[in-house]
Amino acid sequence: MEAERRVGVAVDFSDCSRKALKWAVDNVARGGDHLILVTVLPEGHYEEGEMQLWETTGSPFIPLSEFSDPGILKKYGVKPDPETLDILTTAASQKEIVVLLKIYWGDAREKICEAIDKIPLNCLIIGNRGLGRLRRVILGSVSNYVVNNGSCPVTVVKSSDHE
């Protein structure tokens, strides 16, 4: 029997990350997999002590049943949208996958690459906001950085030019 796969999806609960999540569920996730959502928050928005406790390792894994509860996620500063929760709940029941959330604090590029190694992930799916060439140079592209520095296969799900 094949060992369980850990499929990572970088999410920030935007349209492009929701599109990447949907693509991952439709094209990669299969029964028995662990679908691990990796989200990175800026430093400084947390309850006293939690950030220091999980600064190097990220939060503990949060199961779908807990991150569907707004009260539990409020302390982490995460607000998943109803559409994302619907995609996850449907995937968990129909495909029989385990859905977990892991929260990091800091620079998204570095923390996503760190998550690949520390969890460890078998693959990662990430959305692309579709920044123009100039804005990408100025702001930096998280997806480009992860593709070039991540230690597992990375799939970039591009947003359409009209979004």
The pLDDT of residue 62 is: 93
Q: What's the CA gap between 110 and 116, in Å, rounded? A: 10
Question: Would you say 150 and 124 are in contact if contact means Cβ atoms under 8 Å apart?
Answer: yes
**What residues pair up with 157 in beta bridges, in sequence order?**
127
Q: Report whether pLDDT(109) > 50.
A: yes
Domain tally, the chain: 1
**How much of the chain exceeds pLDDT 70, in percent?**
81
The domain that holds 112 is classified in CATH as 3.40.50.620
Domain that holds residue 48: 6-158
Q: Is residue 79 exposed (0-12), middle (13-18) or buried (19+ Cβ within 10 Å)? A: exposed
How many angstroms separate the CA atoms of 110 and 100, rounded? 20
110 in a structural domain: yes
Residue 163 belongs to some domain of the structure: no
Across 105-123, average pLDDT: 95
Take residue 102 and report the two structure tokens written for it: 């892991």
Q: What is the pLDDT of residue 163?
A: 41
The pLDDT value recorded for residue 48 is: 53
Q: Which residue has the higher pLDDT, 49 or 152?
A: 152
Pairwise CA distance, residues 146 & 109, whole Å? 6
pLDDT at 10 over 70: yes
Residue 101 counted as domain residue: yes
Is residue 14 domain-resident? yes
Of residues 137 and 160, the one with the higher pLDDT is 160
In a domain, 50, yes or no: yes
Average pLDDT score over residue span 77-99? 93
In a domain, 1, yes or no: no
Contact 33, 100 (CB under 8 A): no
